[in-house]
Amino acid sequence: MSENLNEPTADELPRLRDQCGALALELERETDPTRRAELARELAECRQRVFQAEQGDRPHDRDREAGGPAGDVQPAQVMRERIEGGNIEAADPRPDYAGLYAVERAESAELRAELAATEGQGISRERERLHSAVEHAQEQQHAEELSHAGVSPELAAEYEARILARDESFAGEVVQQIERDDEGRAFVIEADGDRVMVPQIEGAEMDVGDDVEVSRDHQGNYEAETGYGYGR
């Protein structure tokens, strides 16, 4: 670039800045070392002219250049320092698309992370709700079984026995008979260290020392087979 180095005017600033911007862009894209050196020199000259035009638009700077106080840094020296340090940048009229895209990507990533966290919390809450519902159903089923057992778990626990489960059979010896005021008798049957408690079964005569086999069906009804016959 062979430009006239006469001092430019302030009116030339827009054109000079555009010219510097084009040179800076070309220098950034150029890969040939020789051409890069030429572009760097042209860009330095262009920036110098921008600086001169900016200084010409400032009356107090012209006064200092004409002869300021002793010890002031002269404009030519300031210009050289700014050019060498790369501090004079031409205005780039193009939007910073790379920066905008980077911001959009960061915001999108943050939004996706927030959505994933929200979905994860929703799944956790749904699992907790289902777990609570299953536990509640199990508790209701257990309470229903106990309500049809004919004996309470507290009473069975007093005699270190358990309640016969549904669809279970148990054979053993009657070791205890419990008299209850309002609910009739209950019996503790033991075999191999395991003890179950059953209520009085209609039609089945049981006494302490008898070998019996008791069972409950799926509906919770008791049946018993003793040496005296069969009852349910």
- Measure CA 10 to chain center: 57
Is it the case that residue 74 has pLDDT exceeding 90? no
Is 4 part of any domain?
no
* Averaged pLDDT of the chain: 76
Residues 136-157 pLDDT 10s? 776 666 555 555 567 888 888 9
Nearest to 198 by CA among 219, 170, 218: 170
Query: Is 130 a domain residue?
Result: yes
- Asked, for residue 1, whether it belongs to a domain, the answer is no
Identify whether residues 172 and 227 lie together within a single domain.
yes
Q: Which two tokens stand for residue 28?
A: 């950034």
Same domain? For 127 and 181 the reply is no
Give the tens place of pLDDT for each residue, 6-43. Answer: 667 777 888 888 888 898 898 888 888 888 888 888 98
Among 129, 147, 165, give the residue marking a domain's end: 147
Domain that holds residue 123: 96-147
Q: Which residues contact 159 (CB under 8 A, 6 or more apart)?
A: 176, 178, 188, 195, 197
Instruction: Tally the domains of the chain.
Output: 3
Helices (H), the chain: 13-29, 33-56, 59-67, 75-85, 97-147, 153-158
